[in-house]
Structure formats: structure tokens, C-alpha cells
Structure 1
């Protein structure tokens, strides 16, 4: 033990004894640590610089300036080398600084190498592991280096932080003033006027069991089972997302309801033949050609997006939750129809078996396997390839599930991402 480590840990043991026990078993020896020098110096962990190597203090000041100056409570995600914490604690109006550890081994290593007593001893500081809480806290600053280095225990919070940080950028395509969006909504107007209101479906299946079927690769494990269940007289309601429709049909499985929200969905994804007895639930961004061709009942609804604000005032319709993916309104529809139990199929949010989707070739639906530079934990607790937007969709589904404790959610597979709030289905999840 270094002299720094003993003094740092002594403070932590006095203030947060339970956390100190956890820190003492963190294995910093597994990290590749190097000193990186420039105009100043910093620590590099596994090739990632924790801070600037030129001017750590100036960098910390810039980071602190991104947070509201008058906020009495601030959250820092990642411990870094202590620079941000020291900068924030200079604020006279700061009453509480929560410091959330994103990588326990990295923090343990820093405690060995540098004196951190100044901020650890400040009575305004509260220290905790990020993963001890299920949701992020605002306002916050997340150290970019530790978003990359976050360990498995804190990965769920890392995903929420990245999703929140990217929110404005991701929403740039959904400007209500965009000529393309205005044109698309106008093209669907006549159909929205004459089609059913999705609210007519709300409460129509009280206490029912519902299967919500997405297009993740693990869906392929369940085609035979789903076909057998679909042919039973007494069975769950089958709700599928648009891209799962064709793969289901190819295996002799006809869903009861298809949900679609995306203008990029075409007849290639939703062939209209033989759809007389299949309900289409859609939002007005859907291609009008798809709507015109659909033979079965059509129900229109909106999300909370500003792009529907004017249309909502003109033609009131029921609302479904959208968090970036079509799986969100599909799950919300099941809940609003009255489902007591929902089993998710193909809700992988990752690329198990090095595939992107069930029933489609690599790149057919957008993402290619080669672009997968990120990871989530699967149902076995192992890291599995994914991409950033999938992690964001997963975060939003988990938030949705947490907001509906009256419904029991099952996950049908351990191959895809672990979904907080779900239980692995005893019959389907292997």
C-alpha cells in the first residue's frame, strides 16, 4: 500500500465505511496504466487519458462551467484525478457534490498514486458507486474518459449518461419546421382523418397476456414455439414491430397487431397481401403508400414529439410512448390495452451470434455488424456487441418498464441485452 493510498482510504473509511470495503477489493493490477506528459501530465488507463496532459486545471474549469453556477447540488460522474471535484467545491453556493464512481479499479489506482484528501474530506461531498442508483441525477457532468472506461457494474448508468448527453443531437432530425416532416404529415392527413383512433384499443384486453415481438437475432430461437402457440385457441395477443412482420410470416406466424412509426418503412417491410385480419397501429410519419395498401384495420396515434403538436390540436388521437425505437410504442400499446403480463421476444438491443436482426441480412435494416464498437451485458452477464443508439433504446425501455410496476415483464432470451425490470421467462429463456 502506498502512503497516498493509506491516507486516502482512511478518509473514505471514516466517511463511507461500506464503500471502503468495496474499494479495497478492487483489482487495479489489471489496468494498463502509463504516465502521459505534455505541457503537464496525466494518467493513461488502457490507452485512455483520464484528463488533459497539458492543463488539467483549465480543463476542469471548462467542465465545471458547463454546469449551472447557482445549483446547490451537482453530480460528477467519474472521479478522474480529482480536478473537477476541487473546481466545483470552490463554489460558495454549492451545498452537496455527489461523486459517482464509474470504474472502481480506476479510482483505486488513483488513490494509490495521488493525494485525494482535499475533496474527499470536504463535508459537502458524497461518494458512491454510480451503479448503486438505477437512474442518473441532474445536473451532472460525466468525465468523457470514464464513460469509455466504465466497468460492468456501472455500465447501465454509463448508458443512461451517454443517451442523455446525445439527446439534443439525436433529436435534430425531428424538427417540426422541417419541410420534409411537414410534407410527410400532410401526405398522411387524409388517412388519419378517416382511420380509427388508437385510443379505441385502450382497455380492450384487460388482464390479457401479450407477446411483444421485435426483430433481434434471438427471435430466431422462438419461431417454432411462437407458431405452435399462435395455432392454439387460447393464446396471448401477438403484437409485433414492423421489421419483425416479414420474418414472422416467413415462419407461418401471423401477428394480431403490427406497430409502425417510421417513414423509412415500405412495402418491402410490410407487404400488404393477406393483411385483412391484421391490425396496423401507426403514427402519421409512416409512408402513405404503406397505409393505402394495408387491407386490415388501421389505427392512428401520436407520440409526445413536437412534430405532432399541430396535428394533435387539429385531430386529437391517442398517444403512445416513443423512446427512439418502435419497440417502445409496441410495449406501450400492450400496456394501454390492459396487459397484465408482457413477454418480449427479439428485444436484444445488441448483436448476439454476430447477427444484427432476425430474418434480415447484415445492413438490410441500417446497422452493420462491423459498425458495432460498443457493448452491453447480456443475460449471462457477458459483454456483447452493440451500437450507441441500441443502448439508448434499451435505457428508454427500462425506464418505461420501471414506470409500469403493475405489469409483469418477461424477457424470452438471455442472448441479448439484460433488460432491467424484466424476469427471464421460465419456459422460453435458455
Structure 2
């Protein structure tokens, strides 16, 4: 045991004995640590530099400047302690919470460098990030440790990244955008004549609902879904737009289809023989797709500012959107009165090295080869995904947490683990 580790560990043992016990159990042997030198120096862990190798202090000052002058602040990742020391220079700071994103990385840093100057400060509180279900604000997340985050802290990492990218992700939803204004204007006539999604709220109180997405695991369930669809007293079938065509190809007709995306076309929602299928939509959807739908249509808005003006002119019910069509599909089920919702194809990942059920690689977005990220599946193993899928997963988990009165079941362990759901023993494989 190094001299540095002994002195660092004594501070942690005295102040946070439970954290100390976990750090002592961390396995650092799989980490490749290298010294990287520039104008200064830093540590590289598994090829990822923890900090700048030129001017760590200046880097920490820039990072600190992005945080408000709050009494309580949160730092995710420990780095080499530079940001903590910079923030502790603020006289008004009352508490600084440091959340570990990789326990083994921190244990290794404790072996190599003296961290006592910030660990000893009485304003510091030390945690494993994964001990909390949600992120804390205001925060700064060290970029290197977002990459190095371990399995235990992965869900918090995903929430941090989603929060960091929020402004960028919302750039397409500018209410002053000419494209948005034009599309909403083109949808007005349809909106005036179509039903209000609020008419559906409370209409299925107590009924079980199947919410069907397009993840690859859906392919495991086509045969049973077709059989259940023909039964009396069956659950209600609600599917997302991209799942509609694969379901039809396997003889399964949903009760409701939910669509919100301006990129959806007749290729995804073929209008033939749709008279008995209801469509819940938001007015950013292509009006031609809506006009051709033969079944009853119900219009809805999200909380997005793009609907602020038209909502005042033509009030309609609201469905929750967190970036993906699965969110309003689930919200519709809840608002219709479901007490049990079973999720199909809600994978948020690429099990079996496939991107979607019933579609070719790249048909609905980036190809599999572009997958650079991971989540944990239902077996606790890492599985490929893309960045926006992780954000959608975070928002669904948050939604589930806000609705404890509804039981949520997942039907496959092959896709991402969804916090707040249980695996349905009749379906999960």
C-alpha cells in the first residue's frame, strides 16, 4: 500500500467509513495508468486523460466558472482534485458534494497522489454517484469520468449526459423556426376536425395495456401477441408508429398508434385498411400522413414551446414527450386509466446486434456500426446503444418514478434494464 493511499484512506475512513470500505474493495488491477506530459502532466487511465496535461489549474478555473455561486454544489467524478480545490476557494460555499463515477479510478488516484487538501475540508461530502437514483443540481461532471464511469454508476452517468445535452437536443424545437410555423399552419384544418386526445383520458380505467415499441426484442413476441390479440378481455394494444408496420406484417392490429415525429411517412404508417385503428398524433406530423389515415384521429400537444400559440387557439390534451414516441405512448396508457402496463420492444439498445424489429440496419436511424455507447441489459451485461437512446431511457425511468400507482413490466432481459420495471415472468427471456 502506497504512502499516499494510507494517508488519503485515513481521512476517508474517519469521515466516510462506508465509502472507505468500498474503496478498499475496488479492483484497480485492470486499470492501465500512464503519466502524460505536456506543459504540465496528468494521469491517463485506459487511454483517457483525467485532466489537461498542460495547465490543470486553468482547466479547473474554466470548469468552476460554469457553475453558479450557489451555497451547495455537486461535482461528478474526482479527477485529480483540481476542480474541488478551485471550488473550495469560494468563501460562500457551504457544501461541496463529490460523487464518484468510478470507484476503482478514484482508488488508483488515492494511491498515486495526495488528495488530503480537499478531502479534509469540512465542506466536502463524498458519495458513490449510483447510491442516488437521480442527479443533483447544480453540477459539473468531469468529461473524462463520464467516459470512464463504471457499471454501478452508469445510470447516473446517463442522466448527467442527457442533462448536459438538453439545450443542444432541443435546438430543432424553436417555435420561431419557419419549418415549425409552416407545419403547424398546415395542420390547423386537421386539428379543427379531429378529436381531442383528452377524450380518451379515463376511458380504460383499470384495463391492462400493452405498449409496443420497435426494439429488436419485439421479434420474440410476435406469435404470442397475435394469439392474445384475438382473445376476449385482452389488454389494450398501443404501439408506436415505427412498430405499426412490423406488427401488421405479423398479423397484429393495434388498437391505437401514437405518432409525433415530422419525419414519419406513409412508409411507416401505410394508410390501407386502418379504419378500425385509432391514431393519436401531434401536429408536427406530416399532414398528408394524417389525412390518409382512415381511422379516428386524436390530436395532442406536448409541453414543448412550439405548441404554445396553437394550444391557445385550439386547446387539446397533453401527452408527455421526453424525446421519443414511446413516452407519449406510455403516457396515453396511463391517462386512459391503465394500472398495469407491459412494455414490448422497449430495448433502448441493440440486442442481437440489431437496431430495430422489422426494419433493416439504418432504416430508422444510425447503423449498428455507429453504436459507440453502452447500457446494462437485464442480465447486468453491457450492450451497445446510441447516445439518444440512453437519454430516452432516462426520461422513461423518470416518468415511471413519477407514477408509482402504475405497475410497469418489461418483457425482455435482452434490452436495457429499465429502472422501476419488473420483468414479467410470462414474457421475459
- Per the normalisation by structure 1, the TM-score is 0.99
Write the mapping of 1:345-424 to structure 2, written as runs, cut at 5 A: 345-424=344-423
Is structure 2 residue 310 aligned with structure 1 residue 277? no
Task: Please give the secondary structure, in 2, of the residue aligned with 1:99.
Answer: strand
Residue of structure 2 equivalent to 1:56: 56
Per-residue Cα deviation, 1:306-359 (whole angstroms, up to 9, x for no partner): 000000010110000000000000000000000000000000000000000000
Per-residue Cα deviation, 1:86-122 (whole angstroms, up to 9, x for no partner): 0000000000000000000000000000110111111
Task: State how far apart, in whole Å, the 2-side matches of 1:225 and 1:392 are.
Answer: 30
Task: State how far apart, in whole Å, the 2-side matches of 1:263 and 1:42 are.
Answer: 47
| 1:123 Cα offset (Å) | 0.7
Gaps of 5+ in 1: none
Write the mapping of 1:331-342 to structure 2, written as runs, cut at 5 A: 331-342=330-341
| 1:129 Cα offset (Å) | 0.3
Residue of structure 1 equivalent to 2:205: 206
Is structure 2 residue 163 aligned with structure 1 residue 158? no
Task: State how far apart, in whole Å, the 1-side matches of 2:239 and 2:288 are.
Answer: 20
| 1:36 Cα offset (Å) | 0.3
Task: State how far apart, in whole Å, the 2-side matches of 1:352 and 1:32 are.
Answer: 29
Task: Please give the secondary structure, in 1, of the residue aligned with 2:44.
Answer: strand
Task: Please give the secondary structure, in 2, of the residue aligned with 1:410.
Answer: strand
Task: Please give the secondary structure, in 1, of the residue aligned with 2:29.
Answer: helix
Residue of structure 1 equivalent to 2:8: 8
Task: Please give the secondary structure, in 2, of the residue aligned with 1:23.
Answer: helix
Task: Please give the secondary structure, in 2, of the residue aligned with 1:68.
Answer: coil
| 1:251 Cα offset (Å) | 0.3
| 1:231 Cα offset (Å) | 0.7
Task: State how far apart, in whole Å, the 1-side matches of 2:328 and 2:413 are.
Answer: 23
Write the mapping of 1:17-416 to structure 2, written as runs, cut at 5 A: 17-69=17-69, 71-416=70-415
Task: State how far apart, in whole Å, the 1-side matches of 2:384 and 2:102 are.
Answer: 20
Task: State how far apart, in whole Å, the 2-side matches of 1:68 and 1:310 are.
Answer: 33
| 1:173 Cα offset (Å) | 0.7
Aligned residues: 429
| 1:272 Cα offset (Å) | 0.7
Task: State how far apart, in whole Å, the 2-side matches of 1:186 and 1:412 are.
Answer: 40
Task: Please give the secondary structure, in 2, of the residue aligned with 1:29.
Answer: coil
| 1:367 Cα offset (Å) | 1.8
Per-residue Cα deviation, 1:134-181 (whole angstroms, up to 9, x for no partner): 000100000000000000000000000000000000100110000011
| 1:281 Cα offset (Å) | 0.1
Task: Please give the secondary structure, in 1, of the residue aligned with 2:298.
Answer: strand
Task: Please give the secondary structure, in 2, of the residue aligned with 1:30.
Answer: coil
Task: State how far apart, in whole Å, the 2-side matches of 1:297 and 1:146 are.
Answer: 50
Task: State how far apart, in whole Å, the 1-side matches of 2:378 and 2:243 are.
Answer: 22
Task: State how far apart, in whole Å, the 2-side matches of 1:392 and 1:383 are.
Answer: 16
Gaps of 5+ in 2: none
| 1:366 Cα offset (Å) | 1.3
Task: Please give the secondary structure, in 1, of the residue aligned with 2:152.
Answer: helix
Task: Please give the secondary structure, in 1, of the residue aligned with 2:22.
Answer: helix
| 1:234 Cα offset (Å) | 1.2
- Per the normalisation by structure 2, the TM-score is 1.00
Task: Please give the secondary structure, in 2, of the residue aligned with 1:42.
Answer: strand
Task: State how far apart, in whole Å, the 2-side matches of 1:291 and 1:44 are.
Answer: 54
Task: State how far apart, in whole Å, the 2-side matches of 1:118 and 1:264 are.
Answer: 54
Per-residue Cα deviation, 1:12-38 (whole angstroms, up to 9, x for no partner): 011111111100010111101000000
Task: Please give the secondary structure, in 2, of the residue aligned with 1:415.
Answer: coil
